[in-house]
Amino acid sequence: MKLAFKPSLLGLLFCVLAEDAISADIAFIHSYHQGYPWVQEYRDGFLSGIQEHSITEYEMDTKRKPATEYEAIADQTWQFIQEQKPQIVVLADDNALKLLGPRVVEAQIPLVFLGINANPRHYITLDKNVSGSLERPLLKRSVFMLRQLMPNIKKVKVLMDRNPTSYAILETSFDDKFKQTIANIGVDITLEESFHDWKATVAKTKENGYDAIIIANYAALTNRFCENVSLDKVSHWTSRKSPLPVFAFWSYSIGEGKAIGGLIINGTEQGLAAADKVNHFFVKGALPAISTPKRGTFMFSQHELERWNIQLPPTLLKKSTIVD
């Protein structure tokens, strides 16, 4: 196999093609961009799990592109899929499934999705030609985890951006509620448009009676020039300036100078699950059932645990991954 990189009008086209291939077996479409840690995780999982098939990849870059461009991005990506004539299409994350899923289903091309936060029926009709992996942040179990670490905890703030993915998470993982009580702990969820508003909310958490913060989805935050703010910048600022311990749902948010830890969703597992379904298709000629991969992994930063003087209970330590 050889790896070729080609520019497109709306993103980057990544092609992995057998030297004698005319078109790819698999079109792998990314909602976001290759520099996004979540994409790197599930992509590594997928490529390590897939059997020997030709693959073309396309990034839609919808975390950094404004919603006003989504229709044009979808048209460009669909043109790419049609040109490739793949035997199966893999759509990663909600924006790709929402924008392209109906066209793929209508064209009767077998479809595997991954990293979907919403109910996939919101986007497409599910039939024998469709399978995939769901992504579900584990709010309730995360709150129980916080109770173990902070026995006196009473109130938690969950922060996300206002990307469509965040609204999907709110619906399916948080029961479409901005306020709820879990194990006698109040949980309030706030969606912010800008990094400025995010900073203001973080700064006031302690005076507003919160005991901890969980940062969820924040890749779509923008600065005052409406430019995208990098994940690392948001993570580092939040860790440095927060008056309260900060936890997270994804591994890229955890580490020295970032969040302390959390019950995380593993992108590699999402990619491996999608690869298994694609491999099954090529062997059996049919797709297996939709699934949700392994239910979370505990990960913590040793540096941040020490900075906040938090000790993991032995039972939690045994099943946790410790970084830095």
Q: Where are the domains of the chain?
A: 2-136+267-284, 139-264+297-323
Q: Taking the CB of residue 313, how many other CB atoms lie within 10 A of it?
A: 10
Q: Taking the CB of residue 314, how many other CB atoms lie within 10 A of it?
A: 7
Per-residue pLDDT of the chain (324 residues; tens, 9 = 90+): 333 333 343 344 444 443 344 578 999 999 999 889 999 999 999 999 999 899 999 999 998 898 999 999 999 999 999 999 999 999 999 999 999 999 999 999 999 999 999 999 999 999 999 999 999 888 999 999 999 999 999 999 999 999 888 999 999 989 999 999 999 999 999 999 999 999 999 999 999 999 999 999 999 999 999 999 999 999 999 999 999 999 999 999 999 999 999 999 889 999 999 999 999 999 999 999 999 877 789 999 999 999 999 999 999 999 999 998
pTM of the model: 0.84
How far, in Å, CA of 91 to CA of 78, rounded? 12
Question: φ and ψ at 41, to 5 degrees?
Answer: -65, -55
H or E element at residue 303: helix 302-307
* CATH number for the segment(s) 2-136+267-284: 3.40.50.2300
Of 180, 169, 118, the residue nearest 143 (C-alpha): 180
* CATH number for the segment(s) 139-264+297-323: 3.40.50.2300
How far, in Å, CA of 116 to CA of 39, rounded? 13
